[in-house]
Amino acid sequence: EMMIGYFTKFGDGAADMLPIGGLFKTQVRMLGKKLGLSEQITNQPSSPRFWKGHVAEKELGLTYDEIDTILQYSLDGDLDKCTLSKRKIKIVSDLVRKSRHKREHIPVCNRF
């Protein structure tokens, strides 16, 4: 969610430290299973709950497995080897590009 900007700047993305912020959603779910969390928790769909029935994967148009696969290929520099559709790759690439500002530090103005 960090890489694709699926968080609210100064909202759920605001923290002094993000200890699992570098993990993909699928990795967070695996970590939860490894820690012994119930399947009810680890398999629960991501939902910002801005409206009734709001589910992240439905809004994004891709599953987190697909998103994470595309992101991993991209980080490895092997995006051309990804077997998912060009349309899905473009969606994820656009999300990363358009949300870049959410991952950058706030510029500090110099004193006059």
**Domain ranges (residues) in the chain:** 25-103
| pLDDT for 93 | 97
Q: Would the pLDDT of 10 be above 90?
A: no
Task: Report which of 23, 87, 26 is spatially closest to residue 60, judged by C-alpha positions.
Answer: 87
- pTM comes to 0.84
Q: pLDDT tens digits for 49-72?
A: 788 888 989 999 999 999 999 999
Q: Would the pLDDT of 27 be above 90?
A: yes
Q: Would the pLDDT of 28 be above 90?
A: yes
Mean pLDDT, rounded, for 10-33: 90
Mean pLDDT, rounded, for 90-96: 97
| pLDDT for 76 | 97
Q: Would the pLDDT of 112 be above 80?
A: no
